[in-house]
Amino acid sequence: MELQNGFGEVYLTIAFDAANNWVYNNWIGRQTYVGIIAGADACLHPLRNHACAYLLNDNRQVIGPWDHAVDWLITSWAPRAISQGLTHFAHIISSEELAALSAEAMHIGINGKLQMRMFDDSDKAQEWLRMAQQAIRTA
């Protein structure tokens, strides 16, 4: 699924990765409050439809801050995601400093409600999700 902003540019792609059993979000460019709400809500559908507990959220292509939506993500989106079964959230941060600061604010707000880890490398984020899945299978 692709979401476009008012200029017709794709700002988010969402896909269920069946081979890895996680939802992959790829955020692109500058993020608006309205776009973040629409995108975060849209990613709830594949999480619910596939009874998926794992989210790989990729912000490597995000430009600028998105702290204007952090409170909403913490108070509205996260509780709904958790209530439908999300347990592990791997967040790949942007190398862009303001975007990374927004991710840190979200991480602090969500901490303790959900297993959320931040990564600067996609391979490490995927490895963490796989280890979490393996731990649940062997528990």
The CATH code that applies to domain 2-138 is 3.30.750.24
Output Rg (C-alpha) for the chain, integer angstroms: 14
pLDDT string in tens for the chain (139-residue length): 999 999 999 999 999 999 999 999 999 999 999 999 999 999 999 999 999 999 999 999 999 999 999 999 999 999 999 999 999 999 999 998 888 899 999 999 998 889 999 999 999 999 999 999 998 777 6
Bridge partners, residue 114, by sequence? 111
pTM score over 0.75: yes
Q: Where are the domains of the chain?
A: 2-138
